[in-house]
């Protein structure tokens, strides 16, 4: 018996496909977004101590109190707002779980959820499974194929009486674009006097460049009172495989969020929670200096790319570099990334899986620069042969 699929548009994620292809061809993997350098020593040592101290059983469903308190203090330090550690913070098994839980907490059959393309590939499947309808609005105000700014007039036009949620992502994956103060003002005006819930995916919150300020929704009272704000320890502390994140939301939304969370994962890896609590309190410099750490990598990688036929686009935040490959090939992005992996030994991610309808003629690929210098040097040596 073959069951009818609940996700007819979903196959194997592009990140899995390209990582497998990279392994098969011994390619330098700049596709999937994971660092290849070490986790902070204090964090590893704290995890070891927690396990040896016996913190190996179920954590409280909402997260260890010591971690939720540390998150509350860190949030106040970063954004000037201290959420209630007991009623507004929930620790999750990665940001993807938090996104899934938030959507399922409030989206019902037939509700519409506005997503801004290109968007991360876990958004729409979660909406589909909740019985909702993903409404895709393209980013870009200039009509060209490489703009990633929100067009608030187009977003406003997409709102209907059935709109339940709007999802934003800043810094943005895959482009690195960031919302500015004017965007926040327009977003606030757009949602005022509506019942629309905001989901703000801020997993790259500390990876911002050139002196810019991350405009977290948590800075803005009117927005945070209607929002789920999602963060990721994996992105901040170079440990994507630990799969620990969290959600901050007002008490009423958190109560609904926790109903889903408790029947999804129930709780999250206990010793890691203790380790993150220690790391946040003992080394705030880590997240405070993360932007400078990655900016040095961005700048070095960008200079290297200028010695190739690939054209790097601006990267305001995050750890991905988009490149225009139109001087190299007329292949579509999926075919180009496969060719690049198989014939040049560098794995990249095409942008088309991030869209419902990719822009015609777009020739962009995403490269991850969260890598050691030796890894990036080897990739550049291969890309110079294009």
**What pLDDT, on the 0 to 100 scale, is given for residue 380?**
98
Tokens of 41: 């020593």
State the chain's maximal CA–CA distance in angstroms.
Answer: 58
Closest to 188 in 3D by CA, of 178, 175, 198, 202? 198
**What pLDDT, on the 0 to 100 scale, is given for residue 93?**
98
Note the helical H segments in the chain.
Answer: 14-24, 41-52, 65-79, 95-106, 123-129, 152-158, 181-191, 221-224, 233-236, 251-264, 270-282, 284-288, 290-305, 333-339, 373-383
The bridge status of strand 245-248 relative to strand 346-347 is unpaired
Q: How far lies 191's CA from each of 148, 150, 194, in Å?
A: 21, 15, 5
The residues of the chain that CATH labels 3.90.1150.10 are: 14-39+288-383
**Was domain 41-286 assigned CATH 3.40.50.1820?**
no
pLDDT tens digit at each of 386 positions of the chain? 677 899 988 888 888 888 999 999 999 999 989 999 999 999 999 999 999 999 999 999 999 999 999 999 999 999 999 999 999 999 999 999 999 999 999 999 999 999 999 999 999 999 999 999 999 999 997 644 558 999 999 999 999 999 999 999 999 999 999 999 999 999 999 999 999 999 999 999 999 999 999 999 999 999 999 999 999 999 999 999 999 999 999 999 999 999 999 999 999 999 999 999 999 999 999 999 999 999 999 999 999 999 999 999 999 999 999 999 999 999 999 999 999 999 999 999 999 999 999 999 999 999 999 999 999 999 999 999 99
Sign of the alpha-carbon dihedral angle for 170, 267, 248, 166 = positive
Cα–Cα distance, 72 to 248 (Å, whole number): 9
The residues of the chain that CATH labels 3.40.640.10 are: 41-286
**What pLDDT, on the 0 to 100 scale, is given for residue 146?**
58
Cα–Cα distance, 46 to 271 (Å, whole number): 8
**What pLDDT, on the 0 to 100 scale, is given for residue 142?**
62
**Was domain 14-39+288-383 assigned CATH 3.90.1150.10?**
yes
Q: How far lies 377's CA from each of 112, 238, 300, in Å?
A: 45, 20, 10
């Amino acid at each position: 018996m073959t069951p009818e699929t609940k996700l007819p548009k979903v196959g194997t994620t592009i990140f899995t496909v390209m990582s497998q292809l990279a392994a098969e061809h011994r390619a330098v993997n700049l596709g999937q977004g994971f660092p290849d350098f070490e986790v902070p020593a204090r964090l590893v040592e704290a995890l070891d101590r927690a396990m040896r101290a016996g913190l190996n059983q179920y954590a409280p469903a909402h997260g260890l109190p010591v971690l939720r308190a540390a998150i509350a203090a860190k949030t106040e330090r970063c954004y000037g707002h201290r959420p209630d550690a007991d009623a507004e913070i929930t620790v999750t098994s990665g940001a993807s779980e938090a996104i899934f839980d938030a959507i399922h907490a409030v989206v019902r059959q037939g509700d519409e959820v506005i997503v801004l393309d290109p968007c991360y590939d876990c958004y729409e499947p979660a909406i589909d499974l909740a019985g909702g309808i993903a409404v895709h609005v393209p980013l870009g105000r200039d009509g060209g194929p490489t703009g990633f700014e929100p067009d608030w007039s187009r977003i406003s036009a997409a709102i209907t009486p059935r709109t339940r949620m709007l999802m934003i992502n800043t810094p943005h994956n895959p482009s690195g674009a960031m919302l500015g103060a004017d965007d926040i003002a327009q977003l606030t005006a757009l949602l005022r006097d509506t019942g629309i819930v905001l989901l703000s995916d801020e997993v790259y919150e500390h990876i911002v460049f050139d002196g810019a300020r991350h405009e977290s929704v948590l800075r803005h009272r009117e927005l945070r009172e209607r929002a789920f704000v999602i963060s990721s320890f994996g992105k901040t502390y170079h440990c994507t495989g630990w799969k620990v994140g969290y959600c901050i939301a007002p008490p009423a939304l958190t109560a609904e969020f926790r109903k889903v969370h408790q029947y999804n994962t129930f709780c999250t890896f206990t010793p890691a929670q203790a380790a993150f609590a220690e790391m946040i309190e003992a080394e705030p410099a880590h997240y405070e200096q993360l932007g400078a750490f990655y900016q040095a990598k961005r700048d070095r990688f960008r200079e290297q790319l200028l010695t190739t036929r690939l054209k790097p686009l601006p990267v305001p935040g995050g750890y991905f570099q988009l490149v225009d490959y139109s001087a190299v090939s007329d292949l579509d992005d999926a075919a180009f990334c496969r060719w690049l992996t198989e014939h040049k030994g560098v794995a990249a991610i095409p942008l088309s899986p991030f869209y419902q309808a990719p822009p015609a003629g777009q020739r962009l690929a995403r490269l991850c620069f969260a890598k050691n210098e030796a890894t990036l040097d080897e990739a550049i040596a291969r890309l110079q042969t294009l």
